[in-house]
């Protein structure tokens, strides 16, 4: 699938980008992987990390807000993975215009540039559970972004080109997530881990699962689908006990823009959601989508909701301890 291909990753110096590069270099032989991002220092660090693969990796300083620069980077690119975003909820709340410029205008620039590109065949945009029934600005901007990528398929015509979306929650151990937050407190000698709400649950997805879902979308999408992995849930209180057994867990109150549970598929989405062995797909609900006869999954029941609080698979404290052992920084 990726052998001999030119792949561009926006926001490629982040947690996902690094793991995507690791995975692709291990399993495929791409012609070129282009890291498109704003931070020259992170690119420098990444270039040193992969110096043995300097014949494959290219580093392109640029911002998704800059359409002309992004268009230049698309030269001979086959696949685009869109991972760039302003994703810290408090930062988006305090800087709403900047969030719109990156998450919405940036998505528009990618769609426009790709539609004008003669080489690009596939685009996969990374989404988030926060785009589902959003209650904060980050989620709102990502909802619009998802809609832009899905609707872009209406403008493809007869070209071998499609846009799809991959949706998951906070990746375990990624920057800004709860695991490194707790670990930082533990490293400082703290004996208490603050819990915003004792009822809070989250999905568990690791970086490798996230990368595999993106590659599945690249290989299987026909245009407009939203791919969602089947993954286990856990309680935040159980995570705290797995990381620091016997710790105090003061309840500090839910933060602005935070949800008790992650939701990946809403009841409204159930009308066009199909279940597969390891994932769900929400199919587009547009007249232009002509591939309904190719759907092979099982349609979920009307009113179905895929939520971390109502999951059928759970990780208890011992299961979480086992998974945490896989993280080098823990």
Task: In whole angstroms, give the CA distance from residue 41 to residue 27.
Answer: 27
CB atoms within 10 A of CB 290: 10
Told to judge if 130 belongs to the known catalytic residues of this protein, a careful annotator would answer: yes
In this structure, the strands spanning 226-229 and 279-282 are antiparallel
In this structure, the strands spanning 122-128 and 79-82 are parallel
Whole-angstrom CA distances from 189 to 129, 186, 241, 242, 260 are 32, 5, 15, 16, 28
Measured in whole angstroms, the distance separating CA 161 from the mean position of its chain's CA atoms is 21
Task: In whole angstroms, give the CA distance from residue 1 to residue 22.
Answer: 16
Task: In whole angstroms, give the CA distance from residue 326 to residue 316.
Answer: 16
The answer to whether the CB of 229 falls within 8 A of the CB of 213 is yes
> What are the counts of helices (DSSP H) followed by strands (DSSP E) for the chain?
11, 14
C-alpha count within 13 angstroms, C-beta hemisphere, residue 160: 6
Catalytic annotation, pick one of 130, 142, 230, 259: 130
Q: Which helix (H) or strand (E) holds 224?
A: none
Active site positions, annotated: 130
């Amino acid at each position: 699938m990726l052998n001999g291909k030119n792949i561009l990753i926006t926001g490629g110096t982040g947690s996902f980008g690094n793991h995507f590069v690791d995975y692709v270099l291990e399993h495929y032989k791409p012609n070129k992987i282009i890291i498109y991002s704003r931070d020259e220092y992170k690119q420098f660090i990444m270039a040193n990390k992969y110096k043995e693969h300097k014949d494959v990796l290219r580093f392109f300083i640029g911002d998704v807000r800059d359409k002309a620069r992004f268009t230049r980077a698309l030269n001979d690119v086959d696949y685009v993975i869109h991972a760039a975003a302003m994703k810290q909820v408090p930062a988006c709340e305090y800087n709403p215009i900047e969030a719109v410029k990156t998450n919405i205008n940036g998505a528009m620039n990618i769609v426009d540039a790709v539609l004008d590109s003669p080489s690009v065949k596939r685009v996969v945009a990374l989404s988030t559970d926060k785009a589902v029934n959003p209650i904060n600005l980050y989620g709102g901007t990502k909802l619009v972004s998802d809609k832009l990528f899905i609707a872009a398929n209406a403008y493809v015509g007869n070209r071998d080109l499609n846009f799809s979306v991959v949706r998951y929650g906070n990746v375990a151990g990624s920057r800004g997530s709860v695991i490194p937050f707790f670990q930082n407190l533990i490293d400082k000698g703290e004996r208490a881990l603050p819990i915003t709400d004792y009822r809070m649950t989250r999905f568990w997805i690791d970086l490798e699962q996230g990368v595999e879902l993106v590659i599945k979308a690249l290989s299987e999408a026909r245009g407009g689908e939203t791919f969602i992995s089947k993954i286990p849930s856990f309680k935040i209180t159980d995570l705290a006990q797995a990381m620091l057994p016997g710790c105090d867990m003061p309840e500090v109150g839910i933060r602005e823009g935070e949800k008790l549970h992650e939701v990946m598929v809403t009841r409204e989405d159930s009308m066009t959601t199909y279940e597969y062995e390891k994932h769900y797909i929400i199919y587009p609900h547009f007249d232009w989508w002509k591939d309904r006869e190719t759907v092979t999954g099982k349609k979920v029941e009307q009113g179905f909701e895929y939520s971390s609080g109502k999951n059928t698979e759970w990780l208890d404290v011992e299961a979480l301890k086992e998974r945490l052992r896989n993280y080098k920084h823990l």
